Amino acid sequence: MIPVWCWGETLWNSFFIAAMARYCVSLNSTWLVNSAAHKYGDQPFDSYIEARENPVVALLTTGEGWHNYHHIFPWDYAASELGYTLNLTKVFIDVMAMIGLAYDLKTANPDAIKDRKLNSGDGTRVTLNEKPKRTLNTKYTKWLLLPTFQKNTNNKANYDE
C-alpha cells in the first residue's frame, strides 16, 4: 500500500513490482546455488565432488555460494572458512548469538580444514607454507574473478602431482 499512497502507483503495479518481482529474484537466487555452485568455481576442499566455491552465487545469496566447504563440513554454521567475506548469513547468525537467540554454534576444526585442503582439494586456496598434493586450474576460475587464479597457457585442465 505504501507505493500506492506515497508514489501514486497503481495497486496492480505495486503488487507485481514489490511482491512478485522480489519473489522471482529470490527463487532464482536460491536455484542458482543448485546450478552454478555445482558447475562453476574452485574445489579447494574436495575436487572429487561436484560442489564448488562460487563468489558470485555467495554475493547473490548472502553467503550460500561456498558450496564445496558446505558439503565437506555441513555442521559448520558459517558454511565458509572465509569469515565475513561475502557471507552476510554468518553475520546475521553471529548477531543472533550475541543477543542470545542462537547458541551451540558448531565450527570445523582449523586443522581439519587445512588437512582436507591439502589432501583432496584442487590447490586453489592454500597458503604459501602449505604444499597441496594435487592442484587443478580451471577455465572457470578466471570467469569468477577469484584472486587465486593462475594463468593456464594451454586452456586445458592442468594437473600437478
Half-sphere exposure of 43 (CA within 13 A, CB side): 22
pTM of the model: 0.67
Position 160 scores a pLDDT of: 46
Residues 112-158 have pLDDT tens digits of 988 888 888 887 876 655 555 554 444 444 444 444 444 444 444 44
Position 158 scores a pLDDT of: 44
Q: Which three cell numbers stand for residue 134?
A: 594435487
Position 60 scores a pLDDT of: 85
pLDDT at 73 over 80: yes
Average pLDDT over residues 33-56: 89
Average pLDDT over residues 6-21: 83
Distance CA 38, CA 50 (A): 5
Are 118 and 126 a contacting pair, CB within 8 Å? Answer: yes
Residues 84-115 have pLDDT tens digits of 777 888 999 999 999 999 999 999 998 898 88
DSSP per position, the chain? -HHHHHH---HHHHHIIIIIIHHHHHHHHHHHHHHGGGTSSB-SS-TTSS--B-HHHHHHTTSTTBHHHHHH-TT-TTSSSSTTTT-HHHHHHHHHHHTTSS-------HHHHHHHHHHHS-SSS--TT---S-EEE-HHHHHTT-TT----TTSS-EEE-
